[in-house]
A and B are shown apart, each in its own frame.
Chain A
């Protein structure tokens, strides 16, 4: 069964601290995306990781992809309140005959507290 798992599902962290969100997936893929969703809002693209070893950084967030381990990480450095949101990873499943889709993880709800 195709699965994308995120860990943790809920995270409460203090401002200024560092933390990592993990995204594991169960099938071969070399394309992975991270999205952010604020409460009641749409999803916003954060990072597009298109190959093994890819690393992208934007502000206090850094994402990486290890396709051999089927693992992506989203690292938060010195968290601030504005980072409070739900973060989704999504894995692009390569085409197999007519099968071709993106599978989303369940999301990690992040709350940054003073």
Chain B
């Protein structure tokens, strides 16, 4: 089944403890992206990647890192999480930017205390 797999689904962590949210797609998509969704603020792009080893900042990249060493994986790294990063995170992929829209992962609900 074609899908984007995110893990974990739920995560509660403490301020400053590094964490990684994994994202993997099995559709050979070139383009991958991370969004966060907050009430009243909608979906905001954190980082995106046009292809392997090509990443760029979205609208709210501060406090996040990404890497794209393989086409299928696009992990989101929070080096030192803070409470303002408490949010619902989505990974998404598409064949390439502008073609066919996104397939979204199931989401990761992160709480930083």
- Counting chain B residues whose Cβ lies within 8 A of the other chain, the interface size class is 20 to 34
Please tell me the number of chain A residues within 8 Å of chain B, measured between CB atoms. 22
Q: Is the interface of B mostly helix, strand, loop or mixed?
A: strand
Residues on A lying within 8 angstroms of B by beta carbon are 31, 33, 35, 41-45, 48, 88, 90, 92, 94-95, 98, 100-102, 104-107
Bound together, the chains give a CA A35 to CA B106 distance in angstroms of 14
A41 neighbours in B (Cβ, 8 Å):
106-107
Asked if residues A98 and B42 are in contact (CB atoms below 8 Å), the reply is no
Give the distance to chain B from A94, nearest Cβ to Cβ, in Å. 7
Asked if residues A48 and B100 are in contact (CB atoms below 8 Å), the reply is yes
B104 interface contact, C-beta 8 A: yes
> Which of B16-24, B43-51, B68-76 forms contacts with chain A?
B43-51
Nearest residue (CB) in B for A4 is B42
B61 interface contact, C-beta 8 A: no
Q: Which residues 5-25 of B have a CB within 8 angstroms of A?
A: none
Asked if residues A33 and B102 are in contact (CB atoms below 8 Å), the reply is yes
Asked if residues B106 and A105 are in contact (CB atoms below 8 Å), the reply is no
Asked if residues A92 and B107 are in contact (CB atoms below 8 Å), the reply is no
A48 neighbours in B (Cβ, 8 Å):
100-101
B81 interface contact, C-beta 8 A: no
Instruction: Show 5 A/B contacts (Cβ-Cβ < 8 Å), sorted by A.
Output: A48-B101, A90-B101, A100-B50, A102-B33, A104-B35
Q: Which residues 81-113 of B have a CB within 8 angstroms of A?
A: 90, 92, 97-98, 100-107
Bound together, the chains give a CA A31 to CA B50 distance in angstroms of 18
Tell me the number of A-to-B contacts counted with CB atoms below 8 Å.
Answer: 50
Asked if residues B101 and A42 are in contact (CB atoms below 8 Å), the reply is no
Asked if residues B45 and A105 are in contact (CB atoms below 8 Å), the reply is no
B62 interface contact, C-beta 8 A: no
Which 7 A-B pairs have CB atoms at the shortest separation, nearest pair first?
A: A33-B101, A104-B43, A43-B104, A42-B104, A106-B42, A48-B101, A92-B98
Q: Give 18 new A-B contacts, CB below 8 A, not counting A41-B107, A94-B98.
A: A31-B98, A41-B106, A42-B104, A43-B104, A45-B101, A45-B102, A45-B103, A88-B42, A90-B101, A95-B97, A95-B98, A98-B56, A100-B98, A101-B97, A102-B45, A102-B97, A104-B35, A104-B43
